[in-house]
Structure 1
Amino acid sequence: MDSTPETIATAETPRGEIALRERASADGTVVHELVVAGVFAMDSADTATETALAQRSLERVAAPTRVLVGGLGLGFTAWQALKDRRVRDLHVVEIEEDLVQWARLGLTPTLGVLARHPRVTLHVQDAASAVGDGEPAGPWDLVLLDVDNGPGFLVHEENERLYSATALSVLLSQVTTGGVLAIWAAQREPQLLATLTGLAPTEEIVLPVERQDRCLEYVLYLARA
């Protein structure tokens, strides 16, 4: 039986409280949890779909030298991308300054590795900065967006603008020819698929996952520039 989660860091932000929690699993493994505005966001117990977001996308890009990750979370998407030695310049944009600070303090092993790694730059920045002429600047060989549970289940309502045809078109224009824009979602998003397909060849990859005796379907959307 897992132990009761213990909060090891918390911060009040303009978007609500964020909290980093720690618990021991039944096998003694330390599990970290991220809670955003009182809602469970993710944990380190099962990171299969976060790593799949990076893996499946990297398989489709011949030379993913410059990579942008939207959303730090617990760092597993960025860490998986960093494992690919072709990735020489990895930028992560995260809106919550406190979460970036927790990474720099090494409050979890994965976040600590990212904060110290010479090929990684962490930016305290809204993911929408990836659209247009904001910093960090493109072009990018690969863009991985994991800032929400998809447009149908937003973490922050203002992120809705990221999924508009205009924003996605601008973002795709920052991706090099043959590169990929990849988006993680907690469910099928027919409108997102239709919007992306209208802009670029797009794959919908369904990832079945069992969590707490429930069968879930997480989804990746991969648009090739």
Structure 2
Amino acid sequence: MEYVEVARSDSERGELVLRERRPGAADRRGGPTVLELRANGVFVMDTAEHASEQALADAALGAVAEPRRVLVGGLGLGFTLQRVLGDRRVEHVDVVEIEPALVEWMRGGTIAHGPQLLADDRVRVVVADIATAVTEAGSASYDVVLLDVDNGPDQLVHTANAVIYGEPFLRAVLDRLNAGGALVVWSAERSPTLVDTLRAVFDRVEERDHAVRLQDRDEHYWLYAAHRSASA
């Protein structure tokens, strides 16, 4: 397998690298070129396997009756957003992404499907930290909030992200949810601590095991859905 760097950004948070993963001359499997996103050397996601992003969106959209207004924490390579936009019930999506370079790569076509995705008139991209965006959102409210900014609370892309799995931030999310709304969080590992924290804040919490095939191996990811009462 050969790797070719496509784009790089360096900030106070460290390095963000987009690279192509290409079958090498000795790789008999062949296959298409894959885009891979890494933050500070940690694999975040790629274009070869995005079933977990789709599952996150499906779980969130299925958790409420009318997901008209959606907040997506983390743009990534856009697959969660793409799935959300595929639901005709969705009228507006705010996407909060802390890395301006990633937004530029999407808008400018470095990530090929990016320009069309962000051109959807239902989408508004906010370049900010998700914790700041939620707490300073004024009167904004949502039917669904999706968090996909890390590999879960135990595999943080940036250590500062630990705050978004804590009770103060989760209460801020609850305040932004309409009655009957839901927060859905993706994690690469099971997190009993997150379950306990969610249960301290929300009316009902569900934990779901999601099996996926990733780079020729079987993995199990976890989805956490936290609901606000419809009578709230």
Q: If the length of structure 1 is used for normalisation, what is the TM-score?
A: 0.93
| 3-state secondary structure, aligned to 1:198 | helix
Aligned length: 222
Paired letter, 2:143: D
**What aligned pairs does 1:34-183 form with structure 2 within 5 A after superposition?**
34-134=37-137, 138-183=140-185
Note the C-alpha offset of 1:211: 2.5
- CA–CA separation in structure 1 for the residues paired with 2:216 and 2:20: 22
Q: Which protein is bigger by CA-based radius of gyration?
A: 2
Counterpart among 6, 12, 21 of residue 23 in structure 1: 21
- CA–CA separation in structure 2 for the residues paired with 1:194 and 1:74: 30
Partner of residue 5, structure 1: 3
| 3-state secondary structure, aligned to 2:151 | coil
- CA–CA separation in structure 1 for the residues paired with 2:197 and 2:75: 25
TM superposition outliers: structure 1 runs of 4+ over 6 Å: none
- CA–CA separation in structure 2 for the residues paired with 1:221 and 1:110: 28
Q: Deviations over 1:136-164 (max 9, x none)?
A: x6201110000111111111111111111
- CA–CA separation in structure 1 for the residues paired with 2:155 and 2:165: 12
Note the C-alpha offset of 1:113: 2.3
- CA–CA separation in structure 2 for the residues paired with 1:51 and 1:89: 18
Note the C-alpha offset of 1:210: 2.9
Paired letter, 1:190: P
Partner of residue 26, structure 2: none
Q: Deviations over 1:143-195 (max 9, x none)?
A: 00001111111111111111111210111111111111011100001010111
| 3-state secondary structure, aligned to 2:89 | coil
| 3-state secondary structure, aligned to 2:48 | coil
| 3-state secondary structure, aligned to 1:129 | helix
User: Does the aligned pair in 1 maintain the 2:59–2:184 contact within 8 Å?
Assistant: no
User: Does the aligned pair in 1 maintain the 2:19–2:35 contact within 8 Å?
Assistant: yes
User: Does the aligned pair in 2 maintain the 1:130–1:171 contact within 8 Å?
Assistant: no
Note the C-alpha offset of 1:112: 2.3
Note the C-alpha offset of 1:213: 4.3
Paired letter, 2:151: N
Partner of residue 225, structure 2: 222
Q: CA-atom RMSD, angstroms?
A: 1.6
Percent identity, please. 45
Unaligned residue ranges in structure 1 (runs of 5+): none
Q: Deviations over 1:67-115 (max 9, x none)?
A: 1100111110111001101111111111011111111101123322222
Q: Deviations over 1:35-65 (max 9, x none)?
A: 1112221101110011100011111211111
